[in-house]
Amino acid sequence: MDIRWNYRVGAPALIVPPFDNIGAQWIPEWSDGVFRQSVARTLHDAQVRVFGYGLVKRVRPGQTPSLTPLTLLVTSDVSVDGQYVAWKVAVSDLRLLFDKANREDITVEITDIRTADGVPSAPLTDCAPELVAAWECYRAALLEDIQEQQWLTADIVLREIGELHPIRAPTLLITAQDADSAIWWDKFLPHIRQQLPQTMEVDLPYAPHLAMQTSGDEEEAEEPYVRPAIYSTMQDYDAIVEMGASIGVEQPDNSGTVGTVIVLKDAAGNETYCALTNHHVVATGWT
């Protein structure tokens, strides 16, 4: 049974999100009213708060739908007391039900209603100073630990799960091309959880590449992915300032990265170069 997430449970091992769900899938057993009643009864007996269930294909970016296995996807509410335990009971019993029907090819998954298509994330606008301090202290060690992995981004965001009693938590969100690799889940993520404050979560979604937003809000891939170079002297910046370049202030001794470079041009053709970064990277003790 896969219990790596606090918002989804499944069997056999689940693949890492995000997904596009293709619904209205069909198997002969699904037309059997008795079999579907058995599914409903299993969920009821386990006391799962069910919003809906059905056969879907959880297609991840880059996957071929025709090669994607079927999933019995049940949506529920993890914020209801006792639901996560109920999910584990139900997944175990449903796995037995499908195995007895010789449908070992179908994955069983119960997920929170808000995470069926991916966990919503928002900027962390009211982060407590101690969380910022913890992140600043741990960031360098984190990047050193995962430098050999195919990670793309690492940031602190606000995530919310649950419907009845929404659960909000600051979350260290790492995206990676190799997010399915066991070393992330067996080694890196448990270690990361030990280093972060108890009020923080950590999550690792899959991403095939970095992406940028165009003026038409269409996502374009930046391929191939090459990790940005790090510049350490003022002379290094004479030739190029690009996304990922190091940036900071001398007092206090902070540093971070340039998110993007923006060029403003006035009516006379004069250009002004601006860089976008997080507030804490250039904040001083007076801001």
> What does the pLDDT read at residue 131?
75
Grade residue 153 by pLDDT with cuts at 50, 70 and 90: confident
Lowest mean pLDDT among 30-44, 50-64, 227-241: 227-241
How far out from the chain centre does Cα 109 lie? Answer: 17
Quick one: average pLDDT of 79-108? 96
Least confident of 5-9, 71-75, 101-105, 132-136: 132-136
Task: Read off the pLDDT of residues 154-194 as tens digits, 9 standing for 90 and up.
Answer: 888 888 899 999 998 888 889 999 999 999 999 999 988 88
90-103 pLDDT, tens digit each: 999 999 999 999 99
Q: Which domains does the chain have, with CATH numbers?
A: 8-115 (3.30.300), 121-214 (3.30.70), 234-282 (no CATH)
- The rounded percent of the chain whose pLDDT value lies above 70 is 80
Helices 33-45, 83-100: crossing angle, 10 deg rounding? 150
If pLDDT is split at 50, 70 and 90, which confidence band does 85 have? very high
Q: What is the pLDDT of residue 241?
A: 59
Please tell me the predicted confidence (pLDDT) of residue 249. 65
Q: What is the mean pLDDT of the chain?
A: 82
pLDDT value, residue 230: 43
pLDDT confidence bin for 287, thresholds 50/70/90:
very low
More confident residue, 58 or 198: 58
pLDDT in tens, 43-57: 999 999 999 999 999
Q: Is the pLDDT of residue 36 over 60?
A: yes
d(CA 168, CA 207): 23
CB atoms within 10 A of CB 120: 12
How many residues comprise the chain? 287
User: What is d(CA 65, CA 111) in angstroms, rounded to the nearest whole number?
Assistant: 21
Q: Which residues on neighbouring strands pair with residue 261, listed in sequence order? A: 275
Bigger pLDDT: 9 or 230? Answer: 9
Q: Cβ(236)–Cβ(249) under 8 Å?
A: no
Residue 180's pLDDT is what?
A: 92
pLDDT of residue 215: 44
pLDDT of 206: 92
Q: Which of 149, 163, 76 is nearest to 120 (CA)?
A: 163
